[in-house]
Amino acid sequence: MKAEIALLKGDGIGPEIVDSTVAVLEKTAQIYGHEFVFKPYLIGGCAIDATGQPLPEETVNGCLASDCVLLGAVGGPKWDGLAGDKRPEKALLGIRAALGLYTNLRPAKLYPALRAASPLKDEIVEGGFDIMIVRELTGGIYFGERGFREGRYGREAFDTEAYSVTEIERIGRVAFNTAMKRSRRVCSVDKANVLETSRLWRQTMHRLAEEFPDVAYTDMFVDNAAMQLVRDPRQFDVIVTSNMFGDILSDEASQITGSIGMLPSASLGDGTRGMYEPIHGSAPDIAGQNKADPIAAVLSGAMMLRYSLGLAEEADRIERAVDDVLNAGFRTADIMGSKQGSPLTCTEMTERILEAL
Protein backbone atom coordinates (compact mmCIF):
# COMPACT_ATOMS: atom_id res chain seq x y z
CA MET A 1 0.00 0.00 0.00
CA LYS A 2 1.05 3.56 -0.72
CA ALA A 3 -0.42 6.34 1.40
CA GLU A 4 0.18 10.07 1.74
CA ILE A 5 0.14 11.31 5.33
CA ALA A 6 -0.02 14.99 6.23
CA LEU A 7 2.14 15.86 9.24
CA LEU A 8 1.01 18.71 11.47
CA LYS A 9 3.79 18.77 14.05
CA GLY A 10 2.63 21.99 15.68
CA ASP A 11 4.15 23.46 18.83
CA GLY A 12 5.88 22.46 22.08
CA ILE A 13 6.59 18.75 22.18
CA GLY A 14 4.59 18.22 18.99
CA PRO A 15 7.62 17.93 16.67
CA GLU A 16 9.35 15.43 19.00
CA ILE A 17 6.44 13.03 19.35
CA VAL A 18 5.45 13.26 15.67
CA ASP A 19 9.03 12.41 14.67
CA SER A 20 8.85 9.38 16.98
CA THR A 21 5.60 8.27 15.37
CA VAL A 22 6.99 8.69 11.88
CA ALA A 23 9.93 6.46 12.83
CA VAL A 24 7.54 3.76 14.07
CA LEU A 25 5.32 4.04 10.99
CA GLU A 26 8.33 3.86 8.66
CA LYS A 27 9.56 0.73 10.44
CA THR A 28 6.11 -0.81 10.18
CA ALA A 29 5.93 0.05 6.48
CA GLN A 30 9.31 -1.57 5.97
CA ILE A 31 8.19 -4.77 7.71
CA TYR A 32 4.99 -5.09 5.68
CA GLY A 33 6.13 -3.64 2.35
CA HIS A 34 4.09 -0.43 2.40
CA GLU A 35 5.12 3.04 1.31
CA PHE A 36 4.12 6.01 3.46
CA VAL A 37 4.81 9.49 2.08
CA PHE A 38 4.93 12.15 4.80
CA LYS A 39 4.27 15.80 3.94
CA PRO A 40 4.66 18.45 6.68
CA TYR A 41 2.42 21.51 7.03
CA LEU A 42 2.21 24.35 9.55
CA ILE A 43 -0.50 24.65 12.21
CA GLY A 44 -0.93 26.51 15.49
CA GLY A 45 1.65 28.84 16.96
CA CYS A 46 4.38 28.01 14.48
CA ALA A 47 1.95 28.84 11.67
CA ILE A 48 1.13 32.17 13.33
CA ASP A 49 4.82 33.00 13.52
CA ALA A 50 5.37 32.12 9.87
CA THR A 51 2.16 33.31 8.22
CA GLY A 52 0.15 35.32 10.76
CA GLN A 53 -2.63 32.70 10.74
CA PRO A 54 -3.05 29.59 12.95
CA LEU A 55 -4.42 27.57 10.02
CA PRO A 56 -2.96 28.61 6.66
CA GLU A 57 -4.88 27.72 3.49
CA GLU A 58 -1.91 25.66 2.31
CA THR A 59 -2.31 23.43 5.37
CA VAL A 60 -6.01 22.88 4.76
CA ASN A 61 -5.44 22.06 1.09
CA GLY A 62 -2.56 19.73 1.94
CA CYS A 63 -4.66 17.82 4.45
CA LEU A 64 -7.56 17.54 2.00
CA ALA A 65 -5.17 16.07 -0.57
CA SER A 66 -3.79 13.49 1.89
CA ASP A 67 -5.09 10.08 2.86
CA CYS A 68 -4.91 10.91 6.57
CA VAL A 69 -3.47 13.46 8.98
CA LEU A 70 -1.14 13.07 11.96
CA LEU A 71 -1.17 15.95 14.45
CA GLY A 72 1.19 16.68 17.33
CA ALA A 73 -0.02 19.52 19.56
CA VAL A 74 -0.65 23.26 19.33
CA GLY A 75 -0.39 26.26 21.62
CA GLY A 76 1.81 27.66 24.33
CA PRO A 77 2.27 30.74 26.53
CA LYS A 78 3.92 32.63 23.68
CA TRP A 79 0.54 33.05 22.00
CA ASP A 80 -1.75 33.28 25.04
CA GLY A 81 -2.28 37.03 24.63
CA LEU A 82 -3.79 36.78 21.14
CA ALA A 83 -7.48 37.33 20.42
CA GLY A 84 -9.65 34.20 20.48
CA ASP A 85 -9.93 33.86 16.71
CA LYS A 86 -6.16 34.20 16.30
CA ARG A 87 -5.04 31.73 18.97
CA PRO A 88 -3.34 28.45 17.99
CA GLU A 89 -6.24 26.38 19.37
CA LYS A 90 -8.57 27.99 16.82
CA ALA A 91 -6.76 25.94 14.18
CA LEU A 92 -8.04 22.69 15.71
CA LEU A 93 -11.67 23.71 15.29
CA GLY A 94 -10.92 24.94 11.78
CA ILE A 95 -9.15 21.83 10.52
CA ARG A 96 -11.81 19.53 11.97
CA ALA A 97 -14.53 21.53 10.21
CA ALA A 98 -12.57 21.69 6.94
CA LEU A 99 -12.08 17.91 6.92
CA GLY A 100 -15.66 17.19 8.02
CA LEU A 101 -14.52 15.35 11.13
CA TYR A 102 -17.51 15.09 13.45
CA THR A 103 -16.49 12.06 15.53
CA ASN A 104 -13.70 11.89 18.09
CA LEU A 105 -12.72 8.45 19.39
CA ARG A 106 -10.77 8.59 22.65
CA PRO A 107 -9.82 5.25 24.17
CA ALA A 108 -8.99 5.24 27.88
CA LYS A 109 -7.22 2.01 28.75
CA LEU A 110 -5.46 1.09 31.95
CA TYR A 111 -2.45 -1.07 31.09
CA PRO A 112 -1.82 -3.75 33.74
CA ALA A 113 1.85 -2.74 33.81
CA LEU A 114 0.84 0.80 34.81
CA ARG A 115 -1.75 -0.02 37.45
CA ALA A 116 0.40 1.58 40.14
CA ALA A 117 0.35 4.87 38.21
CA SER A 118 -3.44 5.17 38.43
CA PRO A 119 -4.64 7.45 41.26
CA LEU A 120 -7.53 5.05 41.93
CA LYS A 121 -7.42 2.37 44.63
CA ASP A 122 -6.31 -1.12 43.68
CA GLU A 123 -9.72 -2.63 44.36
CA ILE A 124 -11.29 -0.20 41.88
CA VAL A 125 -8.89 -0.83 39.00
CA GLU A 126 -8.16 -4.52 39.65
CA GLY A 127 -8.13 -6.19 36.25
CA GLY A 128 -7.87 -2.87 34.41
CA PHE A 129 -10.48 -1.15 32.26
CA ASP A 130 -10.91 -0.28 28.60
CA ILE A 131 -13.28 2.59 27.76
CA MET A 132 -13.98 4.20 24.39
CA ILE A 133 -15.34 7.75 24.57
CA VAL A 134 -17.17 8.80 21.41
CA ARG A 135 -17.33 12.59 21.39
CA GLU A 136 -19.32 14.72 18.95
CA LEU A 137 -16.80 17.11 17.45
CA THR A 138 -18.29 19.80 15.21
CA GLY A 139 -21.48 20.88 16.96
CA GLY A 140 -22.61 22.15 20.33
CA ILE A 141 -21.44 25.09 22.34
CA TYR A 142 -17.97 25.28 20.80
CA PHE A 143 -19.51 26.15 17.43
CA GLY A 144 -22.61 28.05 18.53
CA GLU A 145 -23.40 31.74 18.40
CA ARG A 146 -21.36 33.74 20.87
CA GLY A 147 -20.65 37.31 21.77
CA PHE A 148 -21.10 40.11 24.28
CA ARG A 149 -24.16 42.10 25.27
CA GLU A 150 -25.60 44.26 27.99
CA GLY A 151 -27.30 42.14 30.60
CA ARG A 152 -29.02 42.47 33.94
CA TYR A 153 -25.74 43.11 35.76
CA GLY A 154 -23.98 45.01 33.00
CA ARG A 155 -21.77 43.68 30.22
CA GLU A 156 -21.96 39.90 29.87
CA ALA A 157 -20.68 37.21 27.53
CA PHE A 158 -22.75 34.39 26.07
CA ASP A 159 -22.20 31.09 24.24
CA THR A 160 -25.04 29.04 22.81
CA GLU A 161 -25.39 25.30 22.22
CA ALA A 162 -27.45 23.79 19.43
CA TYR A 163 -27.71 20.23 18.16
CA SER A 164 -29.80 18.85 15.30
CA VAL A 165 -31.32 15.39 15.11
CA THR A 166 -28.99 14.63 12.20
CA GLU A 167 -25.89 15.52 14.21
CA ILE A 168 -27.02 13.38 17.13
CA GLU A 169 -27.98 10.44 14.95
CA ARG A 170 -24.67 10.28 13.11
CA ILE A 171 -22.56 10.34 16.28
CA GLY A 172 -24.94 7.86 17.87
CA ARG A 173 -24.51 5.40 15.02
CA VAL A 174 -20.75 5.60 15.41
CA ALA A 175 -21.13 4.76 19.11
CA PHE A 176 -23.44 1.80 18.54
CA ASN A 177 -21.35 0.40 15.69
CA THR A 178 -18.23 0.78 17.82
CA ALA A 179 -19.91 -1.05 20.70
CA MET A 180 -20.85 -3.93 18.37
CA LYS A 181 -17.12 -4.56 17.90
CA ARG A 182 -16.43 -4.38 21.65
CA SER A 183 -18.54 -5.43 24.65
CA ARG A 184 -21.87 -4.20 23.23
CA ARG A 185 -22.62 -1.59 25.87
CA VAL A 186 -23.37 2.09 25.23
CA CYS A 187 -23.85 4.78 27.85
CA SER A 188 -25.14 8.10 26.51
CA VAL A 189 -24.18 11.06 28.70
CA ASP A 190 -26.23 14.26 28.75
CA LYS A 191 -27.86 16.82 31.06
CA ALA A 192 -31.47 16.17 30.10
CA ASN A 193 -32.81 17.33 33.45
CA VAL A 194 -31.74 20.89 32.60
CA LEU A 195 -30.84 21.40 28.91
CA GLU A 196 -33.17 21.29 25.92
CA THR A 197 -30.32 20.12 23.68
CA SER A 198 -29.80 17.19 26.03
CA ARG A 199 -33.49 16.32 25.95
CA LEU A 200 -33.35 16.13 22.16
CA TRP A 201 -30.10 14.18 22.47
CA ARG A 202 -31.73 11.63 24.77
CA GLN A 203 -34.88 11.27 22.66
CA THR A 204 -32.81 10.69 19.54
CA MET A 205 -30.50 8.18 21.23
CA HIS A 206 -33.48 6.22 22.58
CA ARG A 207 -34.95 5.95 19.10
CA LEU A 208 -31.58 4.95 17.66
CA ALA A 209 -31.06 2.30 20.36
CA GLU A 210 -34.09 0.42 19.00
CA GLU A 211 -32.07 -0.27 15.82
CA PHE A 212 -29.39 -2.02 17.88
CA PRO A 213 -31.21 -4.56 20.08
CA ASP A 214 -27.96 -6.46 20.73
CA VAL A 215 -26.42 -3.44 22.46
CA ALA A 216 -27.22 -2.73 26.13
CA TYR A 217 -28.11 0.98 26.29
CA THR A 218 -28.21 3.33 29.29
CA ASP A 219 -28.45 7.09 29.93
CA MET A 220 -26.47 9.02 32.51
CA PHE A 221 -26.33 12.67 33.57
CA VAL A 222 -22.90 14.18 33.01
CA ASP A 223 -22.28 15.02 36.67
CA ASN A 224 -23.02 11.43 37.67
CA ALA A 225 -20.83 10.15 34.82
CA ALA A 226 -17.93 12.21 36.12
CA MET A 227 -18.39 10.61 39.53
CA GLN A 228 -18.87 7.08 38.18
CA LEU A 229 -15.64 7.26 36.16
CA VAL A 230 -13.65 7.44 39.37
CA ARG A 231 -15.98 5.25 41.40
CA ASP A 232 -16.19 2.28 39.01
CA PRO A 233 -14.71 2.83 35.54
CA ARG A 234 -15.12 -0.85 34.67
CA GLN A 235 -18.88 -0.35 34.29
CA PHE A 236 -18.30 1.54 31.02
CA ASP A 237 -17.60 0.21 27.55
CA VAL A 238 -18.59 2.94 25.05
CA ILE A 239 -19.55 6.42 26.25
CA VAL A 240 -21.16 8.75 23.70
CA THR A 241 -21.67 12.41 24.46
CA SER A 242 -21.64 15.99 23.22
CA ASN A 243 -18.66 18.11 22.29
CA MET A 244 -18.14 19.92 25.61
CA PHE A 245 -19.07 17.00 27.87
CA GLY A 246 -16.78 14.72 25.87
CA ASP A 247 -13.92 17.20 26.11
CA ILE A 248 -14.16 17.17 29.91
CA LEU A 249 -14.90 13.48 30.52
CA SER A 250 -12.16 12.23 28.20
CA ASP A 251 -9.55 14.24 30.10
CA GLU A 252 -10.85 12.81 33.38
CA ALA A 253 -10.70 9.32 31.90
CA SER A 254 -7.13 9.92 30.79
CA GLN A 255 -6.02 10.76 34.31
CA ILE A 256 -7.43 7.61 35.89
CA THR A 257 -5.32 5.56 33.45
CA GLY A 258 -2.20 6.99 35.08
CA SER A 259 -0.98 9.44 32.46
CA ILE A 260 -2.47 11.72 29.84
CA GLY A 261 0.72 11.05 27.88
CA MET A 262 -0.46 7.52 27.08
CA LEU A 263 -3.73 8.11 25.27
CA PRO A 264 -4.34 8.52 21.53
CA SER A 265 -7.37 9.79 19.65
CA ALA A 266 -8.95 9.65 16.22
CA SER A 267 -11.14 12.29 14.58
CA LEU A 268 -13.29 10.83 11.82
CA GLY A 269 -15.95 11.84 9.32
CA ASP A 270 -17.97 9.99 6.72
CA GLY A 271 -14.98 8.94 4.59
CA THR A 272 -11.76 7.14 5.41
CA ARG A 273 -9.67 10.29 5.90
CA GLY A 274 -9.16 11.01 9.58
CA MET A 275 -6.96 13.10 11.83
CA TYR A 276 -5.02 11.37 14.60
CA GLU A 277 -3.49 13.03 17.64
CA PRO A 278 -2.51 12.38 21.26
CA ILE A 279 -4.99 13.94 23.66
CA HIS A 280 -2.32 15.72 25.71
CA GLY A 281 -1.25 19.30 25.03
CA SER A 282 1.95 20.89 23.81
CA ALA A 283 3.68 20.70 27.23
CA PRO A 284 5.83 23.81 26.68
CA ASP A 285 7.58 23.28 30.02
CA ILE A 286 9.44 20.24 28.64
CA ALA A 287 9.51 21.12 24.94
CA GLY A 288 12.86 20.54 23.31
CA GLN A 289 14.26 18.67 26.31
CA ASN A 290 13.74 15.13 24.96
CA LYS A 291 11.53 14.31 27.98
CA ALA A 292 8.19 13.83 26.23
CA ASP A 293 6.36 10.51 26.27
CA PRO A 294 5.85 9.49 22.62
CA ILE A 295 3.47 6.60 23.35
CA ALA A 296 0.18 8.51 22.87
CA ALA A 297 1.35 9.78 19.50
CA VAL A 298 2.63 6.35 18.48
CA LEU A 299 -0.71 4.78 19.43
CA SER A 300 -2.46 7.52 17.46
CA GLY A 301 -0.43 6.35 14.49
CA ALA A 302 -1.67 2.82 15.12
CA MET A 303 -5.27 4.09 15.14
CA MET A 304 -4.54 5.81 11.81
CA LEU A 305 -3.45 2.52 10.28
CA ARG A 306 -6.58 0.79 11.57
CA TYR A 307 -9.30 3.36 10.86
CA SER A 308 -8.06 5.24 7.77
CA LEU A 309 -5.81 2.77 5.96
CA GLY A 310 -7.47 -0.51 6.89
CA LEU A 311 -4.23 -2.01 8.19
CA ALA A 312 -5.49 -3.75 11.33
CA GLU A 313 -2.64 -6.28 11.55
CA GLU A 314 -0.06 -3.51 11.37
CA ALA A 315 -1.91 -1.50 14.02
CA ASP A 316 -2.04 -4.53 16.30
CA ARG A 317 1.70 -4.99 15.90
CA ILE A 318 2.44 -1.44 17.03
CA GLU A 319 0.10 -1.79 20.00
CA ARG A 320 1.72 -5.08 21.01
CA ALA A 321 5.14 -3.45 20.77
CA VAL A 322 4.01 -0.72 23.20
CA ASP A 323 2.61 -3.41 25.53
CA ASP A 324 5.90 -5.31 25.40
CA VAL A 325 7.94 -2.21 26.20
CA LEU A 326 5.75 -1.35 29.20
CA ASN A 327 5.71 -4.93 30.45
CA ALA A 328 9.51 -4.95 30.24
CA GLY A 329 9.53 -2.08 32.73
CA PHE A 330 10.59 0.81 30.49
CA ARG A 331 9.16 4.19 31.49
CA THR A 332 9.34 7.86 30.57
CA ALA A 333 9.18 10.39 33.39
CA ASP A 334 5.40 10.84 33.29
CA ILE A 335 4.71 7.16 34.01
CA MET A 336 7.58 6.39 36.39
CA GLY A 337 5.42 6.58 39.50
CA SER A 338 7.34 5.03 42.40
CA LYS A 339 9.38 2.81 40.10
CA GLN A 340 13.10 2.87 40.78
CA GLY A 341 15.64 3.88 38.15
CA SER A 342 16.06 6.63 35.60
CA PRO A 343 13.28 7.50 33.15
CA LEU A 344 13.86 7.06 29.45
CA THR A 345 14.06 10.04 27.13
CA CYS A 346 11.64 10.43 24.25
CA THR A 347 14.30 9.13 21.89
CA GLU A 348 15.11 6.13 24.07
CA MET A 349 11.46 5.12 24.44
CA THR A 350 11.05 5.36 20.68
CA GLU A 351 14.08 3.12 20.19
CA ARG A 352 12.62 0.52 22.58
CA ILE A 353 9.34 0.48 20.62
CA LEU A 354 11.22 0.10 17.34
CA GLU A 355 13.15 -2.84 18.80
CA ALA A 356 9.92 -4.44 20.00
CA LEU A 357 8.42 -4.13 16.52
**The CATH number, out of the four listed (1.10.630.10, 1.10.1530.10, 3.40.720.10, 3.40.718.10), of the domain defined by the range 119-256:** 3.40.718.10
On whether the CB atoms of residues 242 and 140 are closer than 8 A, the answer is: yes
Low-confidence ranges of the chain (pLDDT < 70): 338
- pLDDT score recorded for residue 334: 87
Q: What local confidence, expressed as pLDDT, does residue 265 receive?
A: 94
Whether 251 is catalytic: yes
Nearest C-alpha neighbor of 200 from the set 172, 226, 227: 172
β-bridge mates for residue 264, sequence order: 278
Q: What is the CATH number of domain 1-101+264-357?
A: 3.40.718.10
In order of 14, 54, 196, the CA distances from 51 in angstroms are: 19, 8, 41
Cα dihedral 244, 250, 252, 258, rounded to 10, equals -160
Segment 250-269, tens digit of pLDDT = 989 988 987 777 889 999 99
Q: Are 133 and 108 in contact (CB under 8 A)?
A: yes
Catalytic residue among 41, 191, 219, 237: 191
**Catalytic: 41?**
no
What is the tens place of the pLDDT at every residue in 69-114? 999 999 999 999 888 778 999 999 899 989 999 999 999 998 888 8
Please give the distance of CA 72 from its chain centroid, rounded to a whole number: 11
Active site residue 223: yes
Q: In the prediction, which pLDDT does 193 show? A: 98
Catalytic residue, candidates 19, 109, 130, 251: 251
Q: Where in the chain do CATH 3.40.718.10 domains reside?
A: 1-101+264-357, 119-256
Catalytic-residue membership of 142: yes
Strands 103-109 and 130-136, sheet pairing: antiparallel
